[in-house]
């Protein structure tokens, strides 16, 4: 599956870019919320996303790069989001946060920074619907893919098989046709792609190409 990241869209032409996503073969729309505390950047927040949600026809995959993400479960739910991803590093009581996301009627994803090992997931892997592996340090689009991520996808695939978990593997950061192909070979289910889609001559054709990997 492919989830284009709105972070790389043209913010002066959001309606046009979301229209393109609606027409495309994209499976989900990936939305990156940053708070300037958990990550060294601020992107957009709920007032903007409410408008995005109103016109987007694809399921919303919300990636919260914020401290205390549990404070915003009802706001994410109000968007009609399909998936709420919280960072492992931002949740002291991750088990409770996952339970609360499910109680709100959404799928729950847990996200790992590049420096957090896959083994930290052992006690939550059966409870989550997705693991989002960061393949760059979160906070910015257009960064260089971290090669070690390929090993991490393989390790995570093994953990999912060993535990009988139903979690999907999503990867985020520096995904293009080359890295995307290798990530899929290693076991990734969902590719997030920002720059490679929106900077392409034809974003729709790029989405199709990434989806065929
Ligand atoms: C980075 C975000 C990503 C970002 C990816 O912190 O989580 O979703 O949009 O951008 P690219 O695909 O350009 O690396
Ligand atoms: Zn993201």
CATH number, domain of 132, equals 3.20.20.70
* Strand partners of residue 183: none
For the chain, give the secondary structure using H, E and C.
Answer: CEEEEHHHCCHHHHHHHHHHHHHCCCCCEEEEEEECCCCCCECCCHHHHHHHHHHCCCCEEEEEECCCHHHHHHHHHHCCCCEEEEEHHHCCCHHHHHHHHHHCCCEEEEEECCCCCHHHHCCCCCCCCEEEEECCCCCCCCCCCCCCHHHHHHHHHHHHHHHCCCCEEEEECCCCHHHHHHHHHHCCCEEEECHHHHCCCCHHHHHHHHHCC
Interacting residues of 45 by C-beta distance below 8 A, sequence separation 6+: 33
Contact 195, 142 (CB under 8 A): yes
pTM of the model: 0.98
For 23-75, how does the pLDDT look when each residue is reduced to its tens digit (9 = 90+)? Answer: 999 999 999 999 999 999 999 999 999 999 999 999 999 999 999 999 999 99
Q: Total structural domains in the chain?
A: 1
pLDDT score at 132: 99
pLDDT score at 167: 99
Which ligand 1 atom is the nearest neighbour of the CA of 143? 14
Which ligand 1 atom is the nearest neighbour of the CA of 139? 6
Tell me which of 172, 177, 197, 203 to substitute to probe ligand 1's pocket, judged by most ligand atoms within 8 Å of the beta carbon.
Answer: 172
Domain that holds residue 35: 2-211
pLDDT score at 1: 98
Residue pointed to by tokens 């930290």: 120
For 151-204, how does the pLDDT look when each residue is reduced to its tens digit (9 = 90+)? Answer: 999 999 999 999 999 999 999 999 999 999 999 999 999 999 999 999 999 999
Tell me which of 109, 173, 188, 200 to substitute to probe ligand 1's pocket, judged by most ligand atoms within 8 Å of the beta carbon.
Answer: 173
Question: For residue 137, what pLDDT band results from cuts at 50, 70 and 90?
Answer: very high
pLDDT score at 68: 98
User: Is residue 194 in contact with ligand 1, taking CB distance under 6 Å?
Assistant: yes
pLDDT score at 11: 98
* Strand partners of residue 30: 5, 61
For 103-121, how does the pLDDT look when each residue is reduced to its tens digit (9 = 90+)? Answer: 999 999 999 999 999 999 9
pLDDT score at 177: 98
The tokens for 174 are 């520096």
């Amino acid at each position: 599956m492919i989830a284009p990241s709105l972070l790389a869209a043209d913010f002066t032409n959001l309606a046009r870019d979301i229209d393109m996503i609606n027409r495309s073969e994209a499976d989900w729309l990936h939305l990156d919320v940053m708070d300037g505390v958990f990550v060294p950047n601020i992107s957009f927040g709920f007032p903007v996303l409410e408008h995005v949600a109103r016109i987007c026809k694809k399921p919303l995959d919300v990636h919260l790069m914020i401290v205390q993400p549990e404070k915003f479960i009802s706001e994410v739910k109000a968007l009609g989001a399909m998936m709420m991803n919280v960072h492992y590093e931002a949740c002291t009581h991750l088990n409770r946060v996952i339970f609360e996301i499910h109680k709100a009627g959404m799928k729950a994803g847990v996200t790992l920074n590049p420096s957090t090992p896959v083994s930290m997931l052992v006690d939550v892997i059966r409870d989550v619907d997705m693991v989002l592996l960061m393949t760059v340090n979160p906070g910015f689009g257009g960064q260089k893919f971290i090669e070690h991520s390929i090993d991490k996808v393989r390790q995570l695939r093994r953990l999912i098989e060993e535990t009988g978990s139903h979690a999907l593997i999503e990867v985020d950061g520096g995904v293009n046709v080359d890295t995307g192909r290798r990530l899929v070979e290693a076991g990734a289910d969902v590719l997030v792609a920002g720059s490679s889609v929106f900077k392409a001559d034809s974003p729709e054709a790029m989405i199709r190409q990434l989806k065929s990997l």
